[in-house]
Amino acid sequence: MMRKALLIALGIALVAFPSVSSADNGYRHRAVCLSLVPYVSTSGSEAENTIHNFSLNLLGGYSGGLKGFELGGLLNMEKGSVTGLQMTAGANFVGLESSAIQVAGIFNYTGWLYGGQLSLVNISGDVSGAQVGLVN
C-alpha cells in the first residue's frame, strides 16, 4: 500500500513540478505530459516551448520536442527534434530531425531521420536508417 502511494505521489510531482532548463535553446523540460488534444494538456500554452521525456496523448499532442517516449491515439506533433520512440495509430510529425523510431498506423514525417520509420507512408529529408512502408 505504501509503495502504491509513493508511486502516485511521484507521478503527481513529475507533472506538477516540472524541471526548467535553458540547455536546449531556451526550451523548458517536463518529465511527463498528458494531453487530450494539442494545447489541452498538462503543459498548456507552454507546450510548443517544452521538451518532454514521456508524453501520453489521448487524441493528439503538440510540444517543442521529445527526449524519450511518446504514445498518441491519433496524432503526435513536435515543433523541434525527437530522440527516442514515437508511436500512434494515426500520424507522427516532427519539424526538425529525429534520432528515433517512429511507428504510425498511417503517416510519419520528419525533416531528417537518423533511425527508423514504420508506417503506410513515411516522409523524410535525408535518411540514415530504415523506412518500412508502402510509400517511402
pTM listed for this prediction: 0.82
DSSP code at position 135: B
Question: Lowest mean pLDDT: which of 13-22, 44-53, 55-64?
Answer: 13-22
Between 14 and 90, name the one with better pLDDT.
Answer: 90
Enumerate the β-bridge partners of residue 39: none
* Mean pLDDT, the chain, whole residue set: 88
Burial class (CB in 10 A: 0-12, 13-18, 19+), 43: buried
- pLDDT at position 2 is 59
Report whether pLDDT(67) > 70. Answer: yes
Between 49 and 3, name the one with better pLDDT.
Answer: 49
Domain count, the chain: 1
**What domain range includes position 9?**
2-132
Residue 19 near residue 31 (C-beta atoms within 8 A): yes
Report whether pLDDT(80) > 70. Answer: yes
